Amino acid sequence: MSTRQFKPLRLGRLLRNRELGLTLVLLALIGLIGLRNPAFATPGNLQFILGDTSILIVLALGMMCVLLVGSIDISVPAVMALSAMTAGIVMKNNLVQADTQVLVDGALTAATVKTSTPLPLLLLLAAGVGAACGLLNGLLIAYGRVLPIVATLGSQYILYGLSHLISGGQAIYRKDMSDAFIQFTRGNVLGFNSKVLIMLAAFLVLMAFINYTRYGRRLYAVGSNAEAARMSGINTRAVTLSAHTIMGLLAGLAGMLYASHDNKVTQDMAMGYEMYVIAACVIGGVSVTGGVGKITGVALGALTIGVINNGLTMLRLTGNSEFWKKAIQGAVILIAIITNVYIKRAHERRVLRERRL
């Protein structure tokens, strides 16, 4: 093979391997930002970025399932808000405060201990509320034949309204939370923040489901060609319904992580966060038309956003920092979309050439 033929082949392979490309981009970003601010590339800060991005990764995993079937969900922040608010109200209503004494530096000190509904039950409640919201979206889209963006836009406002209604317009603050919930996202196990461990658990479960189960592979089949999937015996409506239910369940869990991290639950919590979630999927190589995407790419896409956000902060772009964040994120998303289109067209041309007799 000649050199002229060999170079395009290597470039084509690199472009088709989105995970490798994103890894190189991440390393380049870390290196470039680290040159400007050496504190950025320290293990402690990189671990902080991973923890700070864990909630985004959890949500992006669910969004990937929705995008794979050719749908979309922009009601994610409203699901987070309603799930966290529901669990927060239960926690607040069952809050018990007791004065006790704790040993601090060898001396007994008065302290107030706050207990409430056990944390696992609160997490199950929030995940259940989120799954119910996702189920509602799935029913509207799969069985009601409502356009996904219309259905989830409508449900977004409804869910925000429900969150406001059940809370009586009041937010839940740190004083209303149990000690276990406050420490939920601040604990460390084997040197890793609890948010990272929960994200890794969700990642491994979803990876096993999507890559190694027949039902998981049906997500790709429905998104690639719904009519062909239907003719092969796949219940496309049930697959779409399950994808939205998974998204809702993960949004409910993410809502609890978000609330514990901020020590606050409001009716409009995480508003606008859906754009970051969709961006993470697109950067990671998930096609918005369905049928294409890998779970590792989604995680790398979310980490790319996390590195950009943290890097711009550490570069101390005062005044216009938020502008630069949005401008660079927009540029990265555009590059990702253009790259996806290029790869798809190159693949189609290659398939056509192989079909020639």
Note the helical H segments in the chain. Answer: 3-16, 18-36, 43-68, 76-93, 119-138, 148-167, 179-182, 194-212, 214-224, 226-231, 236-262, 273-283, 295-314, 321-355
| Whether 91 contacts 181, CB under 8 Å | yes
pLDDT in tens, 73-104: 999 999 999 999 999 999 999 999 887 766 66
Cβ burial 5-31 (10 Å sphere, 16+ → b, else e): eeeeeeeeeeeeebbebbbebbeebbe
Q: What is the CATH number of domain 3-355?
A: 1.10.3470
pLDDT in tens, 5-38: 444 445 455 555 678 878 888 888 899 888 988 8
Task: Give the 3-state secondary structure of residue 172.
Answer: strand
pLDDT at 2 over 80: no
Task: Quote the pLDDT of residue 152.
Answer: 96
| Domain spans in the chain, listed from the N-terminal domain onward | 3-355
Task: Quote the pLDDT of residue 7.
Answer: 45
CA within 13 Å, CB half, 33: 25
CA distance 277 to 298: 10
pLDDT in tens, 160-169: 999 999 998 8
Q: Give the end-to-end CA distance of the chain in Å, rounded to a whole number.
A: 22
Task: Give the 3-state secondary structure of residue 72.
Answer: coil
Residue recorded with tokens 């998981």: 216
Record the tokens describing residue 206, joined without a space.
Answer: 């979803």
Q: What's the rounded mean pLDDT across residues 297-325?
A: 79
CA distance 193 to 2: 51
Four-residue CA torsion sign, 300, 302, 308, 309: negative
